Amino acid sequence: MLGLMQDWPLTVDKFLTHAAQWHGRREVVSRSVEGPIVRTTYAELEQRAKRISNALLAMGVKPGDRVATLAWNSGRHMEAWYAIMGIGAVCHTLNPRLFADQLCYIINHAEDRIIFTDLTFLPVLMEHRHQMPTVETFIVLTDQDHMAKVDLKGALCFETLVETHSPDAKWGGFDENTAAGLCYTSGTTGNPKGVLYSHRSNFLHTLVTAQTDVMGIGSRDVVLPVVPMFHANAWGLTFTCPAIGAKMVMPGPKMDGESILELIETEGVTFSAAVPTVWQMLLQHMRATGAKFSTLKRVVIGGSAVPEAIIRAFHDDYGVEVIHAWGMTETSPLGTQASLTAELAELPYDEQIPYRLKQGRPPAGVQLKLTDDEDKRLPHDGTTFGRLKIKGPFIVGRYFKGDGGEILDEEGFFDTGDVATIDQHGFMQITDRAKDVIKSGGEWISSIEIENIACGHPKAALAAVIGVAHPKWDERPLLLVQLKPGETATRDEFLEFLVGKIAKWWMPDDVQFVSEIPLGATGKIDKKLIRQRMAGYVLPTAEPVG
C-alpha cells in the first residue's frame, strides 16, 4: 500500500525559487574577478539565472547536455549553475587547478557543449581551444566593458545574455533522479572519473547538511564559502544557503588572509568553510596584524586532516568553534563531521581535542562500515584499522560512463579507498589511504602515522613511509627521510626516535635518506612516484629464501 502524500520531486531549482520568494531581500555579495564588490539578492539572482536558462535554451541546450563552468565562487557562477540545472542540463564544474592536459581530458570525456568561464581562465582556454572539439561556445562571466578586451572567437558576454533574454523560464518538472551536476575526482591514480550528482542527491545532501549538528546554519547566518564551487559543490553551500535563506559572501579569486578577513569583517560573516591551508593563511595574517573577529562564530574545515594548532588557535585566541568534517567528491561531499556527543561535550576542552581531531560521525542518511579485505565487518574500538565504506542517497553508485566498473560491494557500500578506525563514541579517523597502508603478517600498519611522528624529528624536513615486499611478512615499512638543509643523521637516530611512539612491530625495517621526497599537484606526498623510484630496493631484513 502506498502513502497518499503529494508527488513533489526533489529538484534543486526549488531551493533558489524558495529563496527568491521567502528570502528575496537576502544578499549574495561577491568579490568580483574584475575587482569591485558586487551585491545582489536571491530575488535578483533567481531572475538573472532564469534569463540565462533562456539563453541556453536558445542555443539549443537540451536536458542531459553537459554545460561546464570554470570559475571562482561568485554570484554569477551561482546564476550559471541554477540556469543549467533548472532546465535539466548537467552542470559540470571544472577545477582550474588541474593541469591543462587533465582539463582537456575531462572536457572531452564529459562532452561539454558550452563552458562558462571567468576572465582569469581565458588564456588557458585560448591556448587549448583546438583540443576541445565538443565545445561550441564560451560564455564569459563578465560585463560588456571587460568583454571588449576579450580575444576568444565566438565567446559570449554573460551580462549581454542576461540583458537580452526573458526571466520567464520554466524550471524543474522532471524526474528527481535527473542528473544535475558532474564533478571529476582528482585522479591520483589513472584518469579522473566523473561523479554524476542527481537533483535528488543534491536535495537530500542539502537537507542533511542544514541540520543543527552538521553545518548548523540558519537564515540569520552570513556564510562565506571559501571552499570552491568546483570542489564538490562548495560542500553543498551553494544549495544550502538559498534553501535556508542565509546571506552569502563569495570570495571570488582572492583567498589570501587579508582578503578573507576583509570580507568577514565588512560583511559580518558568522560561518565559513575551507581547507586547512586557507585557515593557516588567515591565522598568520591575524597574528601579524593583531586583528580580531567581530562576528565569526563557526568554521567547518575539511579536505585534509585539521592540525591541532588550528583548532586551538581558533578556540583559544578568537573564540571560534572549529568543526572538522570529512568527505569526498564521491560523497557529495559530506560524510562525517566531528560534532561532539552530549557525553563528550561535558569533558574539559583539552579532553575534547582528540575527538575534534578525528574526522567524526555520520549524520542520519550516511551509513559507514569498517571491513577487512574480505569485506568482513571490523569492531568500532578506536584501534582496529579497516577499509572505510560508505552508503547513502548522496553517495556515488557508479562513475560517469561506467568508468571503473562496478564500485559497490555486495551490501551496496562504496569503498572510499581510505583506511580508518571508528571509536566507541562513533568517531571515525582516517589513518591511511588503502593503497599506502602496509600489510605486515596479516596486520595493517599506518604509513601516515609513522611519517607524522618521524617528521617531528628535529633534523627532518619531510618523511615518507612505504611498504616494501618482504618474503616472510608480505610487506614491511621503509622510512624515507629528507633532511633539513645542512643536516646529517644516521638510520639509528631515526629508529630510536620512534621507539615508544609506535608499536614495536610497526618499526621500519630500514631508513633511507633521500635528497627529495616528491610532492603531487595538491601538495601531498606522491607515494606512487616514491614506489617507482624505490622499485629495485631490497630490505636488509629480506634475506633471500632458499
Verify binding: residue 535, a second copy, rule CB under 8 A.
no
Q: Are 527 and 464 a contacting pair, CB within 8 Å?
A: yes
Residue in the structure block whose three cell numbers are 592536459: 101
Give the footprint of a second copy on residues 304-323 (CB under 8 A): none
* Shortest CB 270 distance to a second copy, Å: 10
Cα separation, 503 vs 481, in Å, equals: 20
Residue 442 is which amino acid? Answer: G
Pairing of strands 474-483, 510-513: parallel
Of 356 and 527, CB closest to a second copy: 356
CB 333 within 8 A of CB 327: yes
The residue (of 408 and 502) whose beta carbon lies closer to a second copy is 408
Give 492-498's long-range contacts (Cβ < 8 A, gap of 24+).
493/457, 493/459, 494/454, 494/457, 494/460, 497/453, 497/454, 497/456, 497/457, 498/450, 498/453, 498/454
DSSP bridge pairs for 299 = 272, 322
Q: Is 7 in the site for a second copy (CB under 8 A)?
A: yes
Q: Which of 408, 489, 507, 534 is the binder for a second copy (CB under 8 A)?
A: 408
Q: Rule CB under 8 A: is residue 445 a binding residue for a second copy? A: no
Tell me how far, at minimum, the Cβ of 173 lies from a second copy, in Å. Answer: 11
431 is catalytic: no
Binding a second copy (rule: CB under 8 A), the pick from 93, 102, 142, 198 is 198
Which three three-digit cell numbers place residue 543?
Answer: 634475506
To a second copy, the closest distance from the beta carbon of 387 in angstroms equals: 17
- 309, 345, 347, 519: which one binds a second copy (CB under 8 A): 345
Which residue from 93, 117, 142, 332 is in contact with a second copy, where contact means CB under 8 A?
332
- Please report, as residue ranges, which positions from 46 to 65 form the binding site for a second copy (by CB under 8 A): 63-64
Residue 103 in grid coordinates: 582539463
User: How far is CA 502 from each of CA 380, 438, 444, 461, 498, rounded to the nearest angstrom?
Assistant: 21, 14, 13, 20, 6
Using rule CB under 8 A, residue 216 touches a second copy: yes
Closer to a second copy at the Cβ: 201 or 431? 201
Shortest reach from residue 389's CB to a second copy, in Å: 12
- The nearer residue to a second copy, 345 or 519, going by C-beta atoms, is 345
Q: Cβ atoms within 10 A of the Cβ of 521, count? A: 12
444 annotated active-site:
yes
User: What single string gives the DSSP state of each residue in 417-469?
Assistant: EEEEEE-TT--EEEEEETTTSEEETTEEE-HHHHHHHHTTSTTEEEEEEEEEE
Among residues 330, 331, 336, 527, which one is catalytic?
A: 330
391 near a second copy, rule: CB under 8 A: yes
- Determine the distance from the C-alpha atom of residue 153 to the mean position of all C-alpha atoms in its chain, rounded to a whole number: 33
Stretch that binds a second copy, among 73-81, 97-105, 131-139, 199-207 (CB under 8 A): 199-207
Q: Least distance to a second copy from the beta carbon of 106, Å?
A: 16
Report the chain's terminal Cα–Cα distance, integer Å. 69
Among 11, 13, 20, 26, binds a second copy (CB under 8 A): 26
22 is catalytic: no
Residue 158 binding a second copy, by CB under 8 A: no
3-class DSSP assignment, residue 63: coil
Cβ proximity to a second copy: between 194 and 302 the closer is 194
Cβ nearer to a second copy, comparing 424 with 488: 424
185 is catalytic: yes
Q: Looking at 34, 136, 213, 423, which residue binds a second copy (CB under 8 A)?
A: 213
Please identify which of the residues 171, 444, 473, 506 carries the catalytic annotation. Answer: 444
545 binds a second copy (CB under 8 A): no
Query: In the window 64-123, what residues touch a second copy (CB under 8 A)?
Result: 64, 90
Residues 6+ apart with CB under 8 A from 325: 235, 300, 301, 302, 334, 335, 336, 337, 338, 359, 360
Q: Where in 162-191 is the site for a second copy (CB under 8 A)?
A: 175, 177-180
Four-point Cα dihedral 352, 299, 363, 90, nearest 10:
-160
Catalytic residues: 185, 330, 439, 444
